[in-house]
């Protein structure tokens, strides 16, 4: 079946622009995670949803970062007033239930000029 998909795969933004990154989890998956992966490093947790509820946003680096999952399926990560330090790959992962393994999407590579 279809895995986790993300769009766009690549995004170039000028500093100060707003961006929106989309994640389509595996159908029926309850849990959804966003991670940020800087070049040459491991992914770092940003935020977690269980259905439409955002249960943990402790990893969001600043109030410029906002995530939503209004209907408990597709999620959007929005970054306002992008900065160069926001350049990274943004990974989305989903799991069927809170106790199951996480499946990752291919990521969105964000480059802020």
Both tokens of 40, joined, read 């040459």
d(CA 5, CA 24): 5
Binding mask 54-93 for another protein (x = CB under 8 A): --x--x-------------------------------x--
Part of the chain binding another protein (CB under 8 A), chosen from 17-25, 41-49, 62-70, 71-79: 41-49
User: Quick check: 113 and 17 in contact, CB under 8 A?
Assistant: no
d(CA 11, CA 7): 9
**Rounded to a whole number, what is the distance in angstroms from the first to the last CA of the chain?**
37
Kindly state whether residue 45 participates in binding another protein, applying the rule CB under 8 A.
yes
Closest approach, Cβ 54 to another protein, in A, equals 12
* Binding residues vs another protein (CB under 8 A): 3-4, 31, 33, 35, 40-45, 48, 56, 59, 91, 95, 97-107
């Amino acid at each position: 079946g279809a895995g986790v998909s993300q769009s766009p795969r690549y995004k170039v933004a000028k500093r100060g622009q707003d961006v929106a990154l989309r994640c389509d989890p595996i159908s029926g998956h309850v849990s959804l995670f966003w991670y940020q992966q800087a070049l040459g490093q491991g992914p770092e947790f940003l935020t977690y949803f269980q259905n439409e509820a955002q249960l943990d946003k402790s990893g969001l680096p600043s109030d410029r970062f906002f995530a939503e999952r209004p209907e408990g399926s597709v999620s959007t990560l929005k970054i306002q007033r992008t900065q160069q330090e926001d350049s990274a790959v943004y990974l989305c992962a989903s799991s069927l239930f809170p106790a199951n393994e996480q499946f990752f999407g291919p990521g969105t590579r964000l480059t802020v000029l």
